[in-house]
């Protein structure tokens, strides 16, 4: 194999693929990135066995071939080479080493053969559709925070992506929950989503997808089966296994009959929650919301450090109510809302609360109260 590439192109591609590679690996080949030079250019691929990312870049191919080298090492080398550099990659003879040259720099990298490199992308993906990049970003960005890290409920360790008939026609919907809060976002269903299975995209893939979306302006080509999902961002392709489990019936826990409506200025509310929660020493301390006619009092009590209270003007006409929430969760959710206002629909201090930026919004959040 002998190829010459622009530093910028190689750096960008390595930047995309090397993140998949775990820092510590018991299987040596999983530390490596696969480099394959052929007619189409130079293809890079990295995997952690649950997901793989591939990207093809333009290269001057003098001699086709393939090898694998340590991903983080080659990424660091390319990163440190000067801007505008031309980089040549060459494997010759016994192929146990790859030589990387650029101007007066020369690196010999230990290589492992391509034949040892695992391939998880195989298999048919019968469902395919294209999602506008902004839509996909919304679906993921606004639900990601609610993904559970609890290993015993592994089926919550991802975003549940599924097609469903919404109030205004078919939608593509993303749901995530850790049991304490739930985020549900939907976008108009793209052509081809009808009949797709509901899938749970694991959190590591979600984080990668979000980063790859930042560099991509094109529509995302999605194809999936019940076991795998592939996203083509135009040049970069991510393939991930899906979580093999059943996502709970989230529809049941979205409150429909909450009759106490609280409307707040979103930014003011978030700042107030943030301020009063300063007094709590640990994350997850409850903030008490005391509601009376037109007035909301936020209180945090910390037996170790003191207490904080703040009053804000709100729209609230229902019966007086005291309810506690995890301050962190409240801020997470208000941080995801779009508009200037936030609508909280409450029932009682023991029941889940519904939070949206406006009635019927495409983004919907459910928050469990805390005892205060």
Partner 1 sequence: MANAAPDRGFLCRDCLNCGPVPAGARPRCTACGSPRSLIHPERDSLAIAHIDCDAFFAAVEKRENPALADRPVIIGGGRRGVVSTACYVARIHGVRSAMPMFKALEACPDAVVIRPRMALYAQVGRQVREMMRALTPLVEPLSIDEAFLDLGGTERLHGASPALTLARFARQVEEEVGISVSVGLSYNNFLAKIASDRDKPRGFSIIGRAEAQVYLAGQPVGILPGVGRVAQERLARAGIRRIGDIAGRSLPDLMRIAGNDAQRLAKLARGEDSRRVEPERAAKSVSNETTFDTDIAALEVLEPILWELAEKVARRLRAGGIAGRTVVLKLKTRDFRNRTRTVSGLAPTQLATRLYAAARRLLVAECDGTAFRLIGIGAADLVDGALADQGDLADSDVVREKSRETAIATLRERFGDTIVKRGISLRHATPPAAGGRRSDEGGEG
Residues near partner 1 (CB under 8 A) are 148, 150-153, 156, 177-182, 248, 250, 252-253, 352, 366, 368
Tokens 């960008």: give the residue. Answer: 12
CA distance 45 to 219: 22
Instruction: Return the sign of the alpha-carbon dihedral for residues 166, 168, 173, 176.
Output: negative
Of 350 and 360, nearer to partner 1 (C-beta) is: 350
Of 235 and 248, nearer to partner 1 (C-beta) is: 248
Shortest distance, position 150 Cβ to partner 1, whole Å: 6
Of 137 and 154, nearer to partner 1 (C-beta) is: 154
CA distance 85 to 6: 6
Shortest distance, position 177 Cβ to partner 1, whole Å: 5
Of 253 and 320, nearer to partner 1 (C-beta) is: 253
Of 214 and 249, nearer to partner 1 (C-beta) is: 249
Shortest distance, position 365 Cβ to partner 1, whole Å: 11
Q: What contacts 348, CB < 8 A, 6 or more positions away?
A: 321, 323
Residue 370 DSSP symbol: B
Shortest distance, position 244 Cβ to partner 1, whole Å: 15
Other CB atoms within a 10 A radius of the CB of residue 331 amount to 18
Shortest distance, position 330 Cβ to partner 1, whole Å: 15
Q: What contacts 122, CB < 8 A, 6 or more positions away?
A: none
Shortest distance, position 229 Cβ to partner 1, whole Å: 22
- Two structure tokens written together for 306: 């003191």
Of 86 and 246, nearer to partner 1 (C-beta) is: 246
Residue 84 DSSP symbol: T
Beta bridge partners of 54: 45, 237
């Amino acid at each position: 194999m002998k190829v010459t590439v622009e530093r910028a192109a190689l750096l960008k591609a390595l930047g995309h693929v090397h993140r998949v590679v775990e820092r510590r690996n018991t299987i040596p080949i999983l530390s490596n990135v696969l480099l394959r030079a052929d007619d189409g250019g130079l293809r890079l691929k990295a995997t952690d066995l649950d997901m793989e990312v591939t990207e093809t870049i333009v290269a001057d191919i003098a001699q086709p071939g393939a090898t694998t080298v340590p991903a983080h090492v080659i990424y660091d080398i390319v990163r440190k080479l000067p801007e505008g550099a031309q980089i040549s990659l060459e494997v010759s003879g016994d192929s146990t080493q790859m030589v990387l040259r650029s101007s007066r720099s020369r690196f010999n990298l230990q290589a492992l053969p391509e034949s040892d490199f695992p391939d998880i992308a195989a298999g048919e993906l019968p469902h395919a559709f294209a999602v506008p990049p902004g839509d996909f970003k919304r679906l993921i960005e606004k639900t990601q925070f609610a993904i559970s890290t609890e290993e015993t409920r592994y089926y919550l360790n991802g975003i549940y992506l599924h097609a469903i008939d919404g109030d205004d026609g078919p939608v593509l919907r993303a749901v995530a929950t850790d049991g304490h809060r739930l985020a549900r976002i939907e976008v108009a269903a793209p052509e081809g989503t009808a009949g797709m299975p509901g899938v749970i995209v694991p959190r590591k893939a979600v984080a990668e997808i979000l980063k790859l979306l930042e560099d991509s302006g094109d529509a995302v080509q999605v194809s999936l089966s019940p076991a795998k999902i592939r996203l083509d961002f135009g040049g970069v392709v991510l393939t991930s296994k899906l979580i093999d489990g059943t996502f709970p019936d989230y529809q049941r826990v979205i409150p429909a009959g909450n009759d106490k409506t609280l409307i707040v200025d979103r930014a003011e509310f978030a700042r107030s929650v943030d301020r009063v929660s300063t007094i709590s020493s640990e994350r997850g301390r409850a903030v008490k919301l005391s509601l009376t006619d037109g007035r909301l009092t936020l209180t945090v009590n910390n037996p170790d450090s003191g207490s904080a209270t703040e009053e804000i003007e709100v729209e609230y006409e229902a019966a007086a109510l005291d309810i506690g929430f995890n301050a962190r969760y409240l801020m997470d959710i208000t941080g995801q809302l779009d508009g200037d206002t936030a609508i909280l629909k409450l029932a009682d201090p023991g029941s889940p609360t519904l939070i949206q930026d406006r009635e019927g919004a495409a983004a919907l959040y459910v928050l469990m109260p805390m005892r205060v």
